[in-house]
């Protein structure tokens, strides 16, 4: 599907802006994951196969983020959750999940926890997914619905939120 265009608007319908942006939330939870993994070495998941799986998850998450960010840039639309988008991107990574960048960040967090062998660190990925769902995704869905109406409804029915 070719990106659908909407008129440029600089603020969400609610007029509220997120206090903490997704990359900041991700960075904070990444720091907690790394510190917990280093402070409690080998606590829980100390197995070579899990470490390899963690590295693969980190690579897959980073690739997913770069791919989807590139798609949004090519469509000249925003990545900011509190700004009305100007294009509905439904191809590439967005054909697989409605939230590829959040999924990529969650995969990186889980991958770091596995690579460090930290069972506790896996909680960071879960916390990220829950907070992202509550703080950003609901607002983004409202913005997409406001900007694209029926086209977004069709996309939402066709593509899952996460995977």
Confidence of residue 8 (pLDDT cuts 50, 70, 90): very low
Q: What is the pTM of this model?
A: 0.86
pLDDT digits (tens, 9 = 90+) for 17-64: 558 899 999 999 999 999 988 887 666 677 889 899 999 999 999 999
pLDDT for 93-134, tens place per residue?
999 999 999 999 999 999 999 999 888 888 999 999 999 999
Q: What is the pLDDT of residues 61-86, one digit of tens each?
A: 999 999 999 999 999 999 998 889 99
pLDDT value, residue 10: 42
Would you list the domain boundaries of the chain? 20-158
Task: Specify the pLDDT at position 11.
Answer: 46
Closest residue by Cα to residue 143 from 76, 64, 88, 67: 88
Instruction: Identify the pLDDT of residue 120.
Output: 82
Q: What is the mean pLDDT of residues 149-155?
A: 97
Cβ proximity of 51 and 117 under 8 Å: yes
Per-residue pLDDT at 27: 97
């Amino acid at each position: 599907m070719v990106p659908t265009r909407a008129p440029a608007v600089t603020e969400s319908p609610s007029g509220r802006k997120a206090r903490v942006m997704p990359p900041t939330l991700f960075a904070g939870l990444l720091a907690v994951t790394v510190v917990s993994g280093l402070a409690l070495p080998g606590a829980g998941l100390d197995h070579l196969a899990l470490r390899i799986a963690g590295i693969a998850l980190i690579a897959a998450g980073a690739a997913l983020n770069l791919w989807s960010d590139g798609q949004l840039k090519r469509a000249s639309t925003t990545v900011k959750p509190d700004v009305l988008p100007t294009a509905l991107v439904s191809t590439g990574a967005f054909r697989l999940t409605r939230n590829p960048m959040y999924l990529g960040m969650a995969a990186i967090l889980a991958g770091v926890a596995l690579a460090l062998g930290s069972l506790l660190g896996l909680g960071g990925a879960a916390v990220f997914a829950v907070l992202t769902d509550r703080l950003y995704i609901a607002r983004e869905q409202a913005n997409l619905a406001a900007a694209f109406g029926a086209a977004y409804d069709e996309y939402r029915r066709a593509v899952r939120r996460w995977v």
